[in-house]
Structure 1
Amino acid sequence: MSATTTRSSGTPARRRRPDDTKLALLFILPATIGLLVFLVWPLLTGIYYSFTEYTTLTPPVWVGLDNYQAMLADPVFWNSLKVTILYVLINIGVQTVVALVIAVLMQRLTQSTWLRSLVLAPYLVSNVVAAIVFLWMLDTQLGIVNIFLDAIGVGTIQFWASETWVIPTVALVNVWRHMGYTALLIFAGLQAIPEQLYEAARTEGAGEIQMF
């Protein structure tokens, strides 16, 4: 048999993996266009217009830092900043703590899929439905929360009309909506911790707080 018709008995060459770069770029192209059109471009134009004076009927006129100087001298801006910081502290702080507790309880006590679905349920409720439900529940005259507070002697609280209560109320409603989703994210992270670490800690006599 000639040398041209013989095949070597060595290990066959590995098949070359097809290059999926073009296909990957094709899949992310719509999201990339949306990101550029609806986020990056408005952000850049907003920054540019912040250095100009303009109306919808006149072209923008460059004014430099005048708008920022006026903003820093405006008490409304500082009040808005204070309200925003208060909202973020209550929302993110309480949501993180509550979600962490829920995630740890799910990991240590039960890992039921039914329970996870129940915890996630508030996140699946639409914003409109959640707003209407809490608007009724916290109503000054007919709300079940104020009826309960009257029954225990606390008195009526104007959750939606009081300057003291309205920001904490909105923030805590948002906590209720998103704590389940945040808890599942933390729970997924806890699941990635090897069980051997907990077993070693128990062997060394560590308590629940130390293992946490």
Structure 2
Amino acid sequence: MLEERTKPHAREAQRLETRQRVFDAAIAEYKRSGMAEADIGAIATAAGVARGTFYFHFPTKEHVLAELDHSEQERMAKQLSRFLASPRDLPAVFDEVVRLVTAIERRLGKVLFRDVLAYHFSPARPTSADWTEYPVILLVIRAIEQARDRGEIYPEADVRHSAFFFLVGLYGLLIAVTGSQSDRTTILRNFVATVLRGLESR
């Protein structure tokens, strides 16, 4: 009887282990070639599975990005939540968001990071979650609300759209801006300053 009960658990554990191998192999291939040029056969070979196993776990290439994006959003939300556990003014919050997002870029590499950002704007996204359902944007919305309550920004500020414009603008800049690290740092600082000036209490 015990053996019968443990078999389903063993099969599920094996399925999850195989799925993780396929995911890890896909991420490695995406880092090398980018999602569009990624070779499903190479992913399957690296994972030690049949080609069809990739599609069993991930119906499209975008589903891999969806899972990666979800895990990165969750990681970033936890880090931002810890940061916000202490009182912070809005400039500090925006600077921390920029730091966390650029840390993701360094961790993933430029090719994969751009694919993840492009995924946000793609009509081929396999998930239909609204932007305002992302945990990070909810934290930014709350931070802007608190800044408004403290009188740091003007009372009529639309906090939801302000958070949306800040994050979309940040992601867009990171896709579009090339050049030296110092040039990017200057552009990002100017971007944050411009967003803050638009919210200043009048």
TM-score range, shorter chain: under 0.3
Higher helix share: 2
Higher strand share: 1
Alignment TM-score, normalising by the size of structure 1: 0.26
User: Which structure would you say has the larger Rg?
Assistant: 1
